[in-house]
Structure 1
């Protein structure tokens, strides 16, 4: 059930999103897709999985977003020897008191960057499942809750290295609202990166930019996003796309048949709704359109569709499957 959004709230939301976007662009050159995905996922109250080769400003983008909202930021470098306790915390025995003391881990922050998550073991990856889904962790039989207003996880993975990596399980990947893939900057953007680095080196004592929004204001934006109107026809369209991934061969053209082994879960349907509402507000609308759904389809589905081994051999990837399904499902 949608609550009517007042003109005052709508006008404020447009100003707030503009501030957030400008702050991001001042600190990250290019990467417009990453900007859109991170801000939309934050407003949709979900988590983001980012895949790219090293050096494409993933850490810079995550830190910029944390600085923009004045939130606590934690960066966790994932390695094969990283333990679950290193992330969520553990109990330490204090000899002076003869009691165990709970020490909370770096996951207790507003924005958490899990850098190269696929370098950590499956056991360590699973430590984030409860935190991401339930927004709490259990240590020594006691539950500890994440920050109340904003808890946003950004995980990165490098697709080109296989040695010493542990692919995310389907259950873990499904917890991410979206998966974004980013590519190299353009020639002009790379020149802009050099100019930015020169400016920083020539002004080493440059003060950190103040936050443009507060954690409370992000919570207010998330509330406004949840009240964006989505017509039942569009909801049926979302459900039809997700359902089509489970019987993909009935929708895909002949050259793409036989490659899908597992379709998307209902979490994909929820992710479509959240992201579509966030994109609608970011584009200055109070209602969702089918184009919003289409524009985010790759990000929502690419990590929720499992392909058979033959797909890689034939040069077929998840995005090609998603595009084929979206084209086949009738647009309302």
Structure 2
């Protein structure tokens, strides 16, 4: 099973140069049907990564370009009257897919953003009283452009931010990675030509196996202490929710699983903290003037003794 995940990451790497960490986080999110929020400038490969990822798991890819005039029904679908059949029919929206790219999600109005709350949490959409289950696996990959965060945008509400399993940034490539990207653009494999590595049956086995990753009491206490400190830190107005606690545990299990271990160690937790918790804490006005969420989380981690005997 570890080989399956390694093959999956290698196949995506044929298209996505220098994005090994991002691909690893996508794989961890896939194991738990988690959603990802990506924040980076245009042109760094967000759409390509989501599309390539969908093709390597033999999934259906869908893209929604959010703008202020997009309606909730444009996302979920509608029920309409067919005059030829003289009956009502459902037309499902682009949300019915395996990997859904919600491009520039913060350009949608709050009403449209809220149309994603049900499907992200309950894996279903309700249209005129009728409930439709989405495909499995199901992952929303939303993007935001930090450069234009104040120009015609609507910040995501706290409830929706908390539904994202992880938040990550796509950084600019270094010189050699960009050189390799140029080569791939001339000779490489397009996203729609990558090989499907994992079937739905394979994924089900992987998900059952990752649930068996154990966490010792000392390491579990370390995780809980990190979460508790986010609720007490003077620079944090709103700390991590219980949903965030569970997400951090799952992400740590996923990291251990990818590393080929049957147990979580403190370094798994520390590595996942920025991706799982940074978008779940909200700083005070004073704190935000001099610090970032990542900086505050660093302070939290540094203030807690690491259980060395547990394998840190």
With the shorter chain as reference, the TM-score category is over 0.9
Match of 2:66 in 1: 78
Shift of 1:113: 0.9
Shift of 1:76: 1.0
Out of 137, 153, 174, the residue aligned to residue 150 of structure 1 is: 137
Deviates further, 96-105 or 131-140: 96-105
- Please report the TM-score for the alignment, with normalisation by the length of structure 2: 0.94
Tell me whether 1:235 sits opposite 2:235 in the alignment: no
Deviates further, 210-219 or 155-164: 210-219
Preserved contact between residue 30 and residue 139 of structure 2 (Cα < 8 Å): yes
Preserved contact between residue 45 and residue 222 of structure 1 (Cα < 8 Å): no
Out of 156, 165, 174, the residue aligned to residue 153 of structure 2 is: 165
Give SS of 2:37's match.
Answer: strand
Match of 1:283 in 2: 259
Tell me whether 1:322 sits opposite 2:297 in the alignment: yes
Match of 1:256 in 2: none
Tell me whether 1:18 sits opposite 2:3 in the alignment: no
Match of 1:244 in 2: 229
Match of 2:210 in 1: 225
Q: After the TM superposition, which residues 33-72 of structure 1 pair with which residues of structure 2 at under 5 Å, given as runs?
A: 33-72=21-60
Preserved contact between residue 46 and residue 170 of structure 2 (Cα < 8 Å): no
- Please report the TM-score for the alignment, with normalisation by the length of structure 1: 0.89
Tell me whether 1:266 sits opposite 2:242 in the alignment: yes
Match of 2:108 in 1: 120
Q: Which whole-Å deviations, capped at 9, do the CAs of 1:218-272 have from their partners, x for residues lacking one?
A: 22211111111111222221111111111113xxxxxxxxx32111100111011
Q: Distance in 2 between matches of 1:279 and 1:263?
A: 23
Deviates further, 162-171 or 215-224: 215-224
Preserved contact between residue 68 and residue 109 of structure 2 (Cα < 8 Å): yes
Shift of 1:299: 0.7
Q: Which whole-Å deviations, capped at 9, do the CAs of 1:27-78 have from their partners, x for residues lacking one?
A: 1011222112111111132111111111111111111111101111111111
Q: Which runs of 4+ in 1 moved over 3 A?
A: 309-313
Shift of 1:174: 0.2
Match of 2:310 in 1: none
Preserved contact between residue 42 and residue 145 of structure 2 (Cα < 8 Å): yes
Preserved contact between residue 112 and residue 154 of structure 1 (Cα < 8 Å): yes
Preserved contact between residue 71 and residue 215 of structure 1 (Cα < 8 Å): no
Give SS of 2:297's match.
Answer: helix
Preserved contact between residue 61 and residue 97 of structure 2 (Cα < 8 Å): yes
Number of residues paired by the alignment? Answer: 306
Shift of 1:178: 1.0
Out of 285, 302, 308, the residue aligned to residue 309 of structure 1 is: 285
Shift of 1:21: 0.8
Q: Distance in 2 between matches of 1:322 and 1:82?
A: 36
Q: Distance in 1 between matches of 2:252 and 2:133?
A: 28
Preserved contact between residue 150 and residue 219 of structure 1 (Cα < 8 Å): no
Match of 1:6 in 2: none
Q: After the TM superposition, which residues 77-226 of structure 1 pair with which residues of structure 2 at under 5 Å, given as runs?
A: 77-147=65-135, 149-161=136-148, 162-200=150-188, 208-226=193-211
Out of 285, 293, 299, the residue aligned to residue 275 of structure 2 is: 299
Q: CA RMSD in A?
A: 1.6
Shift of 1:198: 1.5
